[in-house]
C-alpha cells in the first residue's frame, strides 16, 4: 500500500488546512487546502499536498497556493489547484491550466417538467447523439477553412453567435462573454490548427458529456427563480472543452517554457511546472495561444448548445422559445485569466490560474450580467454520469479568500486504468438503467473509466465549499439521461 504524504497540515477549521511555507524553504506563500477530515486521508494518500507546495514556489505568486476539495494529482498543478501571480513580476505556467484548455460546463433551464419528457428521454438522447458528434476521432458537421477557424479562435462564442448559433443574450451568461481578448491564432502551431479544424462542434470523450437532468431540490428559492429552476424541472448540461487543439497548444508551449526557464534563471521543483515571466515573449506567446484555445472551447459549446436546442424542438414538436430553453451560465474549469483583486488592501491586476477549478465571483462584480449582479455568479458543479450535480453561487468570501474560485466537480479517486479493472465483468450501462438513468455511449470502455466509484462523492465536495463560505448552494440536479463519447 502506498505511503501517506507526511508533510505538515495545520487545521484552520473543519474545512481548511494550512500547509506552512516553512515546509519547504523554496515556498513563497503558504498552501491552503479545502477538505474535511474524511477527505484529508485520501488527499495525503494521493500526495497532492506536495503539488500544492510546488506551486507555492512559483515567482510572483500571491496569497496562497490553493486546492479545492476535488483535488487530485495533476500535471504540474494539482487538479483543483488555484494560484494567482502578479502581472509585473509573476509567471504563467501551462501546467496551471492543463491540457484541456477551457474544459468547462454550460447549463440550460427549460420550462419542461419530468412529466413532459417521461418516456421520451431515450429518443432525445438518440437525437442529441445523432446531431452532435462524440467520441475520439469524430469530426464535426462544420467545414471550416483555416481563415474561418482563426476567426473562431479570435472571437470565441461571439463568432458562433454571428454564424447563427444562438443569440447575443447567451454571451452575457458566459464567463468573459465567451471571448478572451488578446487571442492570437498565429501563436498556434500548424498541428494545433490541423487538429482543431474538424473538431469544432464535437463533444469528445473521457469525462465530457451531455446530460438531460431534473431539479430534485432547491436550497435558495430566490436565486432558483432567477435561474429558471423549479423542482422537477428539466435541465440540459454540456461538458466539453477545446478538444485536440487545446491539447496541442499545451503540449507545444510546455516545451517552449522548459527551454525558456534557464534564460530567465527560473528554477522549479517539478519540470511539469515549466513557466516563463508573464511579460516575456514566451509568456505573451503562450497567453495568446491559450486565449485562442479558450475561445475555441466557448465557440464549441455554443455550437453544441444550438444543435441541442434544435433536437429538443424537433423531438418535442415545439420551438426552443416555447420550450423555455435558456442558458443559465457557462463557466471554464481550466484557464488563466487576468483579473483585478485586492492584495494587502490594494487593487492589483493578477493572472489567476484555475486548473480544475471554477470562477465563483461574488455579488456586485462588474463582469456579471445585470440579472446576476446582485446575486453573484452562477457556478455549475457536475457530478459524474450516475450522481447528482449542483448549482451554486459565488460569494464575497470567495472574492476575499480564493480569488473568486471554488471547486469544479467531484474529483477522481481512481485512475482510468484502475476503474476499468474494477468494472471488469460488470455492465455499467445496465447498472445506470436499473437506476432510471438512460445512457447512450460510443464506447463501453468510457463507461468503465467514468463509473461513479471512480470519483469522490460530489455532495461531500459541495458540502466543504458551502460550509467554508466560498460558495452558496442553489439547487441539486439528478440525471435522467446521459451521452458519453
Question: In angstroms, what CA-CA distances link 443 with 17, 47, 398?
Answer: 40, 31, 39
Output phi, psi for 350, to 5 deg: -125, 155
Residue bearing cell 476575499: 400
Residue bearing cell 485536440: 244
Q: Strand 472-484 relative to strand 209-218: parallel, antiparallel, unpaired? A: antiparallel
Output phi, psi for 271, to 5 deg: -60, -20
What the block records as the C-alpha cell of 273 is 511546472
The residues annotated with a catalytic role in the active site are 408
Residue 137, burial from CB neighbour count under 10 angstroms (0-12, 13-18, 19+): exposed
With left for phi above 0 and alpha for psi between -120 and 50, is residue 429 left, alpha or beta? alpha
Residue 103, burial from CB neighbour count under 10 angstroms (0-12, 13-18, 19+): buried
Are the C-beta atoms of 124 and 438 separated by less than 8 Å? no
Q: Strand 334-343 relative to strand 326-332: parallel, antiparallel, unpaired? A: unpaired
Residue 185, burial from CB neighbour count under 10 angstroms (0-12, 13-18, 19+): buried
What does the alpha-carbon distance between residue 212 and residue 112 come to, in Å, rounded to a whole number? Answer: 11
Are the C-beta atoms of 45 and 72 separated by less than 8 Å? no
Residue 265, burial from CB neighbour count under 10 angstroms (0-12, 13-18, 19+): exposed
With left for phi above 0 and alpha for psi between -120 and 50, is residue 113 left, alpha or beta? beta
Among residues 330, 263, 257, the alpha carbon closest in space to that of 287 is found at: 257
What does the alpha-carbon distance between residue 433 and residue 427 come to, in Å, rounded to a whole number? Answer: 10
Contacts 24+ apart (CB under 8 A), 415-419: 416/449, 416/454, 418/454, 419/448, 419/449, 419/450, 419/451, 419/453, 419/454
Amino acid at each position: 500500500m502506498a505511503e501517506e504524504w507526511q508533510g505538515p497540515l495545520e487545521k484552520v477549521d473543519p474545512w481548511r488546512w494550512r500547509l506552512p511555507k516553512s515546509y519547504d524553504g523554496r515556498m513563497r506563500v503558504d498552501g491552503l487546502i479545502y477538505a474535511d477530515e474524511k477527505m484529508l486521508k485520501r488527499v495525503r494518500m494521493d500526495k497532492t499536498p506536495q503539488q500544492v507546495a510546488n506551486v507555492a514556489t512559483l515567482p510572483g505568486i500571491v496569497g496562497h497556493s490553493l486546492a479545492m476539495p476535488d483535488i487530485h494529482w495533476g500535471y504540474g498543478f494539482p487538479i483543483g489547484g488555484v494560484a494567482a501571480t502578479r502581472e509585473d513580476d509573476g509567471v504563467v505556467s501551462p501546467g496551471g491550466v492543463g491540457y484541456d484548455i477551457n474544459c468547462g460546463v454550460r447549463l440550460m433551464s427549460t420550462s419542461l417538467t419530468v412529466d413532459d419528457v417521461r418516456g421520451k428521454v431515450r429518443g432525445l438522447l438518440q437525437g442529441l447523439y445523432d446531431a452532435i458528434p462524440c467520441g475520439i476521432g469524430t469530426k464535426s458537421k462544420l467545414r471550416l477553412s483555416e481563415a474561418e477557424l482563426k476567426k473562431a479562435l479570435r472571437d470565441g462564442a461571439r463568432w458562433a453567435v454571428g454564424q447563427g448559433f444562438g443569440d447575443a443574450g447567451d454571451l452575457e451568461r458566459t464567463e468573459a462573454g465567451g471571448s478572451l481578448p488578446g487571442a492570437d491564432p498565429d501563436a498556434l502551431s500548424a498541428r494545433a490548427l490541423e487538429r482543431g479544424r474538424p473538431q469544432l462542434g464535437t463533444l469528445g470523450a473521457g469525462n465530457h458529456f451531455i446530460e438531460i437532468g431534473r431539479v430534485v431540490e432547491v436550497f435558495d428559492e430566490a436565486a432558483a427563480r432567477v435561474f429558471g429552476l423549479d423542482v422537477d424541472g428539466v435541465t440540459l448540461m454540456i461538458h466539453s472543452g477545446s478538444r485536440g487543439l487545446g491539447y496541442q497548444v499545451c503540449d507545444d508551449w510546455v516545451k517552449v517554457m522548459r527551454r525558456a526557464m534557464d534564460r530567465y534563471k527560473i528554477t522549479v521543483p517539478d519540470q511539469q511546472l515549466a513557466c516563463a515571466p508573464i511579460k516575456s515573449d514566451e509568456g505573451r506567446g503562450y497567453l495568446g495561444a491559450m486565449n485562442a484555445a479558450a475561445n475555441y472551447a466557448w465557440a464549441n459549446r455554443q455550437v453544441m448548445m444550438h444543435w441541442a436546442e434544435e433536437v429538443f424542438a424537433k423531438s418535442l414538436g415545439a420551438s426552443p422559445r416555447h420550450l423555455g430553453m435558456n442558458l443559465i451560465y457557462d463557466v471554464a474549469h481550466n484557464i488563466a485569466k487576468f483579473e483585478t483583486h485586492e492584495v494587502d488592501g490594494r487593487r492589483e491586476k493578477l493572472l489567476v490560474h484555475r486548473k480544475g477549478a471554477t470562477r465563483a465571483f461574488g455579488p456586485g462584480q462588474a463582469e456579471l450580467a445585470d440579472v446576476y449582479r446582485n446575486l453573484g455568479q452562477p457556478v455549475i458543479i457536475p457530478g459524474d454520469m450516475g450522481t447528482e450535480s449542483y448549482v451554486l453561487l459565488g460569494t464575497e468570501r470567495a472574492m476575499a479568500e480564493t480569488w473568486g474560485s471554488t471547486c469544479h466537480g467531484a474529483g477522481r479517486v481512481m485512475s482510468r486504468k484502475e476503474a476499468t479493472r474494477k468494472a471488469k465483468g460488470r455492465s455499467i450501462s445496465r447498472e445506470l438503467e436499473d437506476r432510471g438513468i438512460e445512457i447512450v455511449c460510443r464506447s463501453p470502455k468510457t463507461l468503465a473509466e467514468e463509473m461513479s466509484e471512480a470519483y469522490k462523492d460530489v455532495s461531500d465536495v459541495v458540502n466543504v465549499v458551502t460550509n467554508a463560505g466560498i460558495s452558496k448552494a442553489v439547487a441539486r440536479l439528478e440525471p435522467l439521461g446521459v451521452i458519453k463519447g
